[in-house]
Amino acid sequence: MVLEVRNITKRYGGITALKDISFSIRQGEVYGLIGPNGAGKTTMFNCITNFVEPTSGEVYFKGENITGLKPYKITERGICRTYQNIRLFPQMTVLQNVMVGGHSRLSSGVFKRVFRMKSQKHEEKRLMERAKELLELVGLGQMEKLFAENLSYGQQRRLEIARALAASPTLLLLDEPAAGMNETETENLYELIKKIQSMGVTILIIEYDMSLVMRLCDRIAVLNFGEKLAEGTPEEIQNDPAVIEAYLGKEEEETIA
């Protein structure tokens, strides 16, 4: 298993955002995390990356307990993420944004390196080549010199993915990557995620676009009010009565059929 989430509970005061959640992700899988607003999906990402500390429970990555490690240490081990609310450096170029991602395994020196200190030129060149490759991969090869703020929303989401990949993750966490995308952009995103999977990267994805989730994911967990309601293949999830009732409900026919 690449990732094992064991009995994670997260409380915020009186709110139990996650209640005793366990699941495991196999090498090479695309694993989906779905559920209504407030179900606890982003909180789960935050617990895995230790952006917030779980109240109880443990996270194992490649067999090692990573619970409580500093977020940058977790990145160093090979878990990278994108955010629900895009977090780019808007006034840095597209290329620089990806290069920053390449430095995220280091705890310091990020800006020094991006702004070309002499002694680091060789490493920087390597990073730049890698960043350019990644921009080609996500379809932004022609846009490296633009400021990130000048990209469309869909392009910014792809740039976030390139930046996360720059640290060469084993496990990539994608938080609503299709949010705000039109049909064509979503289709391109599907192709991109499949390509990333074929490169051997394991993927955990939070997403509301059910047609994308059902096509993309090998397995899915459904969260509802902080509890794990179901887990299975897309087919199993679509036919699970508890899921249909609690989550998909009225939308079932148009969303899932």
Ligand X SMILES: Nc1ncnc2c1ncn2[C@@H]1O[C@H](COP(=O)(O)OP(=O)(O)OP(=O)(O)O)[C@@H](O)[C@H]1O
Which positions lie near ligand X, rule CB under 6 A? 12, 15, 17, 35, 37-43, 84
Residue 97 CB, nearest distance to ligand X (Å)? 24
Kindly tell me which of 39 and 174 has the beta carbon lying closer to ligand X.
39
Distance CA 220, CA 232 (A): 5
Other C-beta atoms lying within 10 Å of the C-beta of residue 29: 19
Residue 208 CB, nearest distance to ligand X (Å)? 7
| Helix and strand counts by DSSP (H, E) for the chain | 11, 10
Residue 151 CB, nearest distance to ligand X (Å)? 23
Token pair for 124:
């920087």
Residue 12 CB, nearest distance to ligand X (Å)? 3
Kindly tell me which of 43 and 97 has the beta carbon lying closer to ligand X.
43
Kindly tell me which of 12 and 115 has the beta carbon lying closer to ligand X.
12
Kindly tell me which of 47 and 69 has the beta carbon lying closer to ligand X.
47
Long-range contacts of 48-56 (CB under 8 A, 24+ apart): 48/3, 48/5, 48/74, 48/79, 48/173, 48/204, 49/74, 49/75, 49/79, 49/81, 49/173, 50/74, 52/10, 54/8, 54/9, 54/10, 54/18, 55/9, 55/10, 55/11, 56/7, 56/8, 56/9
Residue 50 CB, nearest distance to ligand X (Å)? 14
Q: Are 124 and 132 in contact (CB under 8 A)?
A: no
Q: Which of 45, 51, 95, 102 is nearest to 76 (CA)?
A: 102
Kindly tell me which of 37 and 119 has the beta carbon lying closer to ligand X.
37
Kindly tell me which of 52 and 92 has the beta carbon lying closer to ligand X.
52
End-to-end CA distance of the chain: 32
Kindly tell me which of 45 and 61 has the beta carbon lying closer to ligand X.
45
> Alpha carbon of 102 to those of 31, 92, 130, 232: distances in Å?
24, 15, 9, 34
Residue 96 CB, nearest distance to ligand X (Å)? 29
Residue 211 CB, nearest distance to ligand X (Å)? 18
